[in-house]
Chains A and B, each alone.
Chain A
C-alpha cells in the first residue's frame, strides 16, 4: 500500500530574476513498511521533496498524497503525518538527548511511560546512553545526529524521514542505526532515507529513486534496478602503480579506467578467471599492486547513471 505518492510534482525557486527548477515533474511512490532511498547529487532536489512532504514548501503543480490525504490541499497535515530527523545543524541548546526525545514523543501524543520505554530502548540500541543527560551544546556531531534519529523514531507514525542519518556517526554505531531503521518498518512505517552514502545504504534500502537536476532518472526496487543496469557484470579493482597509458585494455574487458591511482575494469561474470589471470600478469609486470574482484555496487551504477556532470551548483532550501 502506498504511504507516499508524488504525482507530477514540479517546484521552481525564483531568486533575483533567476529560476531554478528544483523538482521537475517528479512522480514517486513509497509503500508501507519499506525503506526508501532518496539519492542524488547536491542540488538534485532531494531536500525540496522532503520540505514539500513536511509542508514547508508548496509545489507549483502536481499532487502529494500521504497516507491517503492530499497534503497539497491541506499543507499543514504533512508535518503531523511525517516525523522528521532535524537537520544536523539544528541547535539543541541545553536540551539533553533524553529531554528532547521525550518532548518529541509526547508532542506526538504517546504516553509518558511509553515515551520513557521507547527512549531507553532507542538509546540502548544505538549505544548512546552515556550521553543521554548531557546538554546538546556539549555533544559531538555524531551523537547529535543519533539524537536526531531518536527524535524522529520515538513516535514514528506512518512516515519517518531521515536526512543523512549516518554522517559523523562511527562505523559501529552506523550498523546499530541501520538495524534500528529496519526495525521501524516492522509495524508498517515507511522510512525515507536521504543520503549520499549509497554504498552503505545499498544493503539497507528496499526501493529507491535517483534524482538528477530535479528529474527522476530511475526508481524502483533496488535489486531489480541493479540486475537491470549491472546485468551480469563484475569489476576488477586494483591499485595502479603506473600511469594510464601503460595499460592496454584486454579484448574481453568492457571498460578500463585509471584514475587517482585506482584501476577499474568491468567485464562479464564468466570471465572472472581471465580477469584474475590478467591482474596477476599486470602485477608481475609492476603495473598493479593489490587487486580484488567485486560485484558492481549500487554506487557504481549511481555514478554511471548520474555521471560527473550531474554535479550542479547546490541550491539548498
Chain B
C-alpha cells in the first residue's frame, strides 16, 4: 500500500477520533483570537494605530501558540497517560505519518480563527493590515516550528510536567511575550531570553506578513524558527521511533 493511502487512514483515525471536539476547538480559537484583538484594546485608554496594529497582528500568533504549544501538548500528555500513543506506535504504518497527520489536522483548526480575527479586526479598527505574499510560506514556517516544539516537548517530557509547562506557556505568551506589544517595553534580560525562544520570532514573522508596510522581520527570526522546527521534530520523531 502506498504511503499516501496509509496517511489517509491515519488522518481518518485521528480526525474521527476527535470529531466534534475539533469543531468546538476551532470555535474557541476564534473567540480567543477576537478576544485578543478586540478585548485587549479595552486595556488601552485610546488605542492608537500602532498599538492596535500590534494587537491585530499578534492575535494570529496567539492562536498558533494556544493551539500548538498549549492545547496539543495537553492532548499529547493525555494520550501518553492513557496508552493511546502506544496504540499509535503499534499501528502498521510509519510512525512519522502520525505526526504529519496530526499536525495537518491541528494546523487546519487554526485557519478559521486566524482568517476571521484578521477580517473582523480590519472591519472594526482598520489597523493598517498590508498582507504580503509571504503570509503563505511564513504561515507554513510558523506552523511547522510551533507544532514541532509542541510535539517535541510533550513527547519528550513526562506527561505531568508537559501539562504544567503548557499552562505556563499560555500565561507567559499572553502576558510576558512581545506578541501584542513591542519587545523594547520588556526588561533587558527578558528581551535576551526572547531572542532565543521562538515566541518573539513567530510574532515578528507573523507581523511582517500581515503588515509588511509597517513591520519587517530580521532574517534571524526566520533562521531561529527553522532551527526550532528541526530541534522539535527531531525530538518528537525520536520519541516515536524509540524502542
Residues of A within 8 A of B (CB): 51, 54-58, 75, 79-80, 83-84, 86-87, 89-95, 99-100, 103, 106-109, 135-136
Flag if B92 contacts A100 (CB, 8 Å).
no
Flag if B83 contacts A87 (CB, 8 Å).
yes
A196 to B229, CA, bound (A): 46
Flag if B83 contacts A94 (CB, 8 Å).
no
Contacts of B86 in A (CB 8 A): 51, 56, 87, 90
Expressed in whole angstroms, the minimum distance between the Cβ of B109 and any Cβ of chain A is: 15
Residues of B within 8 A of A (CB): 1, 5-6, 9-10, 12-13, 16-21, 82-84, 86-87, 89-93, 243
10 closest A-B pairs by CB: A94-B19, A58-B243, A93-B17, A86-B87, A107-B9, A90-B87, A54-B90, A80-B92, A87-B83, A109-B1
Partner of B87, one of A55, A58, A87, A135: A87
A164 to B48, CA, bound (A): 65
A89 to B80, CA, bound (A): 11
A89 to B83, CA, bound (A): 7
11 A-B pairs with C-beta separation under 8 A: A57-B243, A79-B92, A89-B82, A90-B83, A93-B16, A94-B16, A95-B13, A95-B17, A95-B19, A103-B12, A135-B19
Expressed in whole angstroms, the minimum distance between the Cβ of B67 and any Cβ of chain A is: 18
A57 to B83, CA, bound (A): 14
A136 to B17, CA, bound (A): 9
Flag if A99 contacts B90 (CB, 8 Å).
no
Expressed in whole angstroms, the minimum distance between the Cβ of B22 and any Cβ of chain A is: 10
Expressed in whole angstroms, the minimum distance between the Cβ of B78 and any Cβ of chain A is: 8
Closest to B93 in A: A107
Closest to B95 in A: A76
Expressed in whole angstroms, the minimum distance between the Cβ of A236 and any Cβ of chain B is: 44
A75 to B9, CA, bound (A): 22
Contacts of B91 in A (CB 8 A): 79, 107
Contacts of A87 in B (CB 8 A): 83, 86-87
A135 to B91, CA, bound (A): 21
Partner of B82, one of A55, A91, A95, A135: A91
Expressed in whole angstroms, the minimum distance between the Cβ of A22 and any Cβ of chain B is: 14
Expressed in whole angstroms, the minimum distance between the Cβ of A80 and any Cβ of chain B is: 5
